[in-house]
Amino acid sequence: YLMLDFLRNLFSSTLGLGSPDKVLDELTLEGVAQYIKSGKCKNILCMVGAGISTSAGIPDFRSPGTGLYANLQKYNLPYPEAIFQIDYFKKHPEPFFALARELYPGQFKPTVCHYFIKLLKDKGLLRRCYSQNIDTLERVAGLEGDDLIEAHGTFYTSHCVSFCCRAEYNLDWMKEKIFSDDIPKCDKCNSLVKPDIVFFGENLPVRFFTSMKMDFPRCDLLIVMGTSLQVQPFAGLVGRVSKSCPRLLINMEKAGQADPLLGLLGFGGGMDFDSDKAYRDVAHISTCDDGCLALADLLGWKVSFTGIFHKGIMSSTLYENEEPATNAS
């Protein structure tokens, strides 16, 4: 069966057979807006990364000079990614908790982009938002547990790292430890306690995989924002929507493009913005906030969007003092 699929993909891609229907009238932000306004689009998925939070003052990971990995010299790491390596953390937890103090949730406000995703929810169009971020700003903007897949985990809960214990701690407990310069240790067994964010060397949450299988085949518009699409398995999600599903990238540079050779061999599902065969992928090169504002304007949502944004900024300060909700199972 695998060989048959391979040959079918090879012939269809090289001979142009079985090309999916073109859903968008034009491969522009305007074309996407027209499609949303047509009423045919009811199950939007968002995939977001660190780029949606940079305007809130949170650095992304890979931007030269300003990214997180470029500014970790003070922690004397063997290499930048070590700060998120589970084995390194268990031996040297101090650098991670020092960084956590700088980036801790509650110090930053959601961005225009976060509130645009909330507006999609309010309009009944958002199926779910898949986020690589650990800053919890999607929740502060008003998304709830069921609206959100925090693919790389969350600060909302923490657990003892001991397999024999695994005691759970809430956000307030962890915050008190971090800001008192204590290394968080379990009250029951004295092992390290780590926020439930996914480190290199750890598995993604089970819910990421179960929801992915349900959501992506039903998706009728995929909006990808603020991610370089370099970290698997998250990056591979773009290839899990149907062949006819339009995909919009709002980012400072193009990302997720298919390798031409792999595309020829029928593998991948990466983005194709520029080739003669491009039929569904749109790249809007701008900041995430500007792209969301432009799309809201084209949709005629500017008034309601302005309202939700200002209301959200006002209420987010109240939200910080609320007891955090646990992740939906």
Size (the chain), residues: 329
Whether residue 10 has pLDDT greater than 60: no
Give the strand order in the sheet containing 168-170: 168-170, 153-160, 193-197
Is residue 51 marked as binding? Answer: yes
pLDDT reported for residue 316:
43
Whether residue 328 has pLDDT greater than 60: no
- Phi and psi, residue 306, nearest 5°: -60, -40
Helix (H) or strand (E) holding 130: strand 126-131
* Structure confidence by residue, pLDDT tens digits, 34-72: 999 999 999 999 999 999 998 998 866 666 665 566 556
The CB-side HSE value for 172 (13 A sphere, CA atoms) comes to 6
Is residue 189 marked as binding? Answer: yes
Domain 24-55+110-152+206-313 has CATH 3.40.50.1220: yes
Of the pLDDT bands very low, low, confident and very high (cuts 50, 70, 90), residue 74 is confident
Beta bridge partners of 185: 192
What stretch(es) of the chain map to CATH 3.40.50.1220? 24-55+110-152+206-313
Is residue 252 marked as binding? Answer: yes
- For residue 52, give both structure tokens: 């949606």
* Structure confidence by residue, pLDDT tens digits, 231-248: 888 999 999 999 999 999
- Whether the CA torsion 148, 152, 155, 159 is positive or negative: it is positive
pLDDT reported for residue 27:
96
* Structure confidence by residue, pLDDT tens digits, 95-124: 898 888 877 767 789 999 999 999 999 999
Smallest CA-to-CA distance from 223 within 241, 207, 210 is with 241
Q: Which residues contact 4 (CB under 8 A, 6 or more apart)?
A: none
pLDDT reported for residue 118:
94
**Rounded-to-integer distance, Cα 257 and Cα 273, Å:** 8
CB contact at 8 A, 82 and 168: no
Mean pLDDT for the stretch of residues 249-261: 84
Of the pLDDT bands very low, low, confident and very high (cuts 50, 70, 90), residue 2 is very low
pLDDT reported for residue 113:
96
Is residue 50 marked as binding? Answer: yes
The SS3 of residue 134 is coil
Whether residue 137 has pLDDT greater than 60: yes
Identify the CATH class of 59-107+153-197: alpha beta
Is residue 288 marked as binding? Answer: yes
What stretch(es) of the chain map to CATH 3.30.1600.10? 59-107+153-197
pLDDT reported for residue 6:
54
Q: Which residue has the tokens 């964010």?
A: 197
For the annotated catalytic residues, the residue numbers are: 152
The SS3 of residue 243 is coil
* Structure confidence by residue, pLDDT tens digits, 140-177: 999 998 999 999 988 888 999 999 999 999 988 998 99
CB contact at 8 A, 243 and 266: no
**Rounded-to-integer distance, Cα 90 and Cα 83, Å:** 11
**Rounded-to-integer distance, Cα 149 and Cα 123, Å:** 19
Whether residue 190 has pLDDT greater than 90: yes
Is residue 134 marked as binding? Answer: yes
Q: What mean pLDDT is reported for the chain?
A: 83
Whether residue 312 has pLDDT greater than 70: no
Whether residue 326 has pLDDT greater than 60: no
Is residue 113 marked as binding? Answer: no
Q: Which residues contact 40 (CB under 8 A, 6 or more apart)?
A: 23, 220
pLDDT reported for residue 288:
96
